[in-house]
């Protein structure tokens, strides 16, 4: 859907939803006729690395990867080989570094099985950055032309803000993000698809204050929001310069996520640096908000639908 920045044509849900306690065992149980919930496996959600801390990557179902940070390395070879699509929020290394090694890991297995290239979906400037600075024959071979131009390991596929993609049966909308490089967030639809399906899992990507995002979410029912808080309040100036959020700016952002459609949402904090989680969550706990906020954890499996 080639459209202007952040313009979409998605129909709205007519009425607000109740806000069940997520700790109630049955609160996410599907209705008897509902499709099985979509799984979103958090492979990495840290702003940097250390033992137990992995950078951003989410496995949607078993064949779509959102961002390719160091968390991808926890997947088995068989799990890696099932990935047909990689969506990238932006070109920064903590979100893209595993693509190169993933391509090498699964190349022989996928080609022997006659599988197509892994499609890497991103904004055109992000794909250009990958081509110029990673798959340039110096840092890494150009796997968009290897092992042959006819049957390469990777295929680069550009998207634009506002596009709605259907990949492996999953509907994913490309959202705006405002970062130091061209950037996107993603909304993944739960249920079986269509306007009457379940709510949406939303990942902001790396972003500073982003009014276009909140404008868009006024007409999407958000079931789970994964939002970044890359810095503590002591580094608010640095957060501003690097176009990230900190708890002080996060509070103002979440104030824009509200009634009637998203009066009470499960919010998960991502991109906190190793060793800073307790301090950042302590500052976030002082935000006055109707939403339920908690830290995201690597290894967590979210269910949507």
- Of 41, 92, 121, 221, the one binding Zn ion (CB under 5 A) is 92
Size of the site for Zn ion (CB under 5 A): 3
CA distance linking residue 2 with residue 159, whole number of Å: 8
Tell which one of 163, 206, 266, 276 touches Zn ion (CB under 5 A): 206
Which tokens sit at 117? 């290239």
Cα radius of gyration rounded to whole Å, the chain: 19
Compute the distance between CA of residue 222 and CA of residue 290 in angstroms, rounded to an integer: 14
Which one of 3-11, 19-27, 88-96, 145-153 is the stretch in contact with Zn ion (CB under 5 A)?
Answer: 88-96
Strand 170-178: give its sheet, edge to edge.
164-167, 170-178, 182-189, 200-203, 222-228, 266-270, 292-295
CB of 54 to Zn ion, least distance (A): 12
State which residue, 167 or 178, has the beta carbon closest to Zn ion.
178
Q: Give the DSSP letter string of 69-102.
A: -GGGGGS-HHHHHT--EEE-S-S-HHHHHHHHHH
Query: Could you tell me the smallest distance in angstroms from the CB atom of residue 90 to Zn ion?
Result: 6
Options 91-99, 104-112, 129-137, 215-223: segment touching Zn ion (CB under 5 A) = 91-99
Tell me which stretch binds Zn ion (CB under 5 A): 2-10, 77-85, 190-198, 199-207: 199-207
**Please, what is the minimum distance in Å from the beta carbon of residue 219 to Zn ion?**
27
Sole binder of Zn ion in the list 94, 163, 173, 276 (CB under 5 A) = 94
**End-to-end Cα distance, the chain:** 24
Task: Give the nearest distance from C-beta 273 to Zn ion in angstroms.
Answer: 10
Summarize as ranges the residues that interact with Zn ion (CB under 5 A).
Answer: 92, 94, 206
């Amino acid at each position: 859907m080639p459209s202007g920045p952040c313009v979409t044509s998605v129909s709205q849900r007519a009425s607000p939803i109740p806000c069940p306690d997520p700790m109630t065992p049955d609160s996410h149980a599907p209705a008897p006729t509902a499709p099985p919930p979509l799984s979103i496996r958090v492979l990495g959600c840290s702003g940097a690395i250390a033992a137990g801390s992995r950078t951003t990557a989410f496995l949607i179902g078993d064949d779509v990867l959102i961002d390719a940070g160091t968390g991808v390395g926890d997947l088995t070879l068989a799990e890696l080989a099932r990935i047909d699509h990689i969506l990238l929020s932006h070109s920064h290394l903590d979100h893209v570094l595993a693509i190169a090694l993933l391509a090498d890991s699964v190349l022989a297995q996928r080609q022997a099985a006659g599988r197509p290239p892994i499609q890497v979906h991103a904004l055109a400037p992000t794909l250009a950055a990958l081509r110029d600075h990673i798959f340039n024959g110096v840092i890494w071979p150009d796997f968009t032309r290897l092992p042959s131009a006819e049957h390469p390991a990777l295929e680069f596929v550009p998207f634009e803000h506002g596009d709605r993609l259907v990949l492996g049966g999953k509907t994913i909308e490309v959202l705006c993000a405002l970062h130091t490089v061209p950037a996107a967030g993603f909304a993944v639809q739960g249920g079986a698809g269509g306007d009457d399906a379940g709510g949406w899992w939303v990942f902001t990507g790396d972003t500073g204050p982003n009014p276009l995002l909140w404008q868009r979410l006024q007409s999407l029912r958000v079931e789970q929001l994964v939002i970044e808080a890359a810095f503590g309040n002591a580094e608010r100036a640095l957060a501003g310069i690097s176009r990230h959020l900190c708890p002080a700016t996060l509070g103002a952002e979440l104030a824009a996520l509200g009634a009637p459609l998203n009066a009470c949402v499960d919010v998960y904090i991502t991109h906190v640096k190793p060793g800073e989680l307790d301090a950042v969550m302590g500052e976030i706990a002082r935000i006055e908000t109707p939403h339920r906020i908690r830290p995201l954890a690597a290894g967590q499996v979210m269910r949507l639908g």
